[in-house]
């Protein structure tokens, strides 16, 4: 299979609320918006090498988890807690060495914010090349 691009599609019952949360609260940048006759029916956000696209055609998180690597999980957790984002506890270093923090979007999508510590094997030059 030759994958030329990819995106994660999330269906939502409230496109305006979803757009506000992912853009304004989480802080993702809009890649594109689309619709018909001046009415937005979808918006896609830049999310690292993946687009996360929302379509106003009903919600169904169906076990979806979005893994987001960030430079500093503590900074993001402090900011998102202030914004009243639903979350599970506080960030913690896991037995496999990553620092993780779990949150939920208004649509019920589970997100894990991940920081890769400087001493973790994923930071080795060989893995990053």
Q: What is the rounded average pLDDT of the residues 16-23?
A: 95
Q: How far apart are CA 24 and CA 113, in angstroms?
A: 17
Q: How far apart are CA 11 and CA 94, in angstroms?
A: 31
- Comparing 90 with 39, which gets the higher pLDDT? 90
Contact (Cβ atoms closer than 8 angstroms) between residue 27 and residue 115: no
Options 3.40.50.40, 3.30.720.110, 3.30.360.10, 3.30.43.10; CATH for 61-129 is: 3.30.720.110
pTM: 0.76
Contact (Cβ atoms closer than 8 angstroms) between residue 30 and residue 20: no
CATH homologous superfamily of 1-60? 2,3-Dihydroxybiphenyl 1,2-Dioxygenase, domain 1 (3.10.180.10)
Least confident segment among 44-58, 64-78, 79-93:
44-58
Q: What is the rounded average pLDDT of the residues 21-49?
A: 90
Contact (Cβ atoms closer than 8 angstroms) between residue 101 and residue 87: yes
pLDDT surpasses 60 at 120: yes
């Amino acid at each position: 299979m030759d994958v030329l691009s990819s995106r994660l599609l999330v269906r939502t019952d409230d496109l305006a609320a979803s757009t506000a949360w992912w853009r304004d609260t989480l802080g993702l940048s809009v890649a594109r918006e689309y619709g018909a006759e001046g009415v937005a029916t979808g918006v896609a956000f830049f999310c690292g090498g993946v687009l996360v696209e929302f379509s106003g055609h009903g919600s169904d998180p169906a076990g979806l988890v979005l893994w987001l690597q960030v430079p500093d999980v503590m900074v993001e957790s402090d900011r998102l807690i202030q914004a009243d984002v639903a979350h599970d506890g506080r960030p913690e270093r896991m037995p496999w060495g990553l620092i993780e923090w779990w949150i939920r979007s208004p649509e019920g999508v589970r997100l894990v914010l991940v920081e890769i510590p400087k001493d973790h094997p994923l930071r080795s030059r060989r893995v990053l090349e």
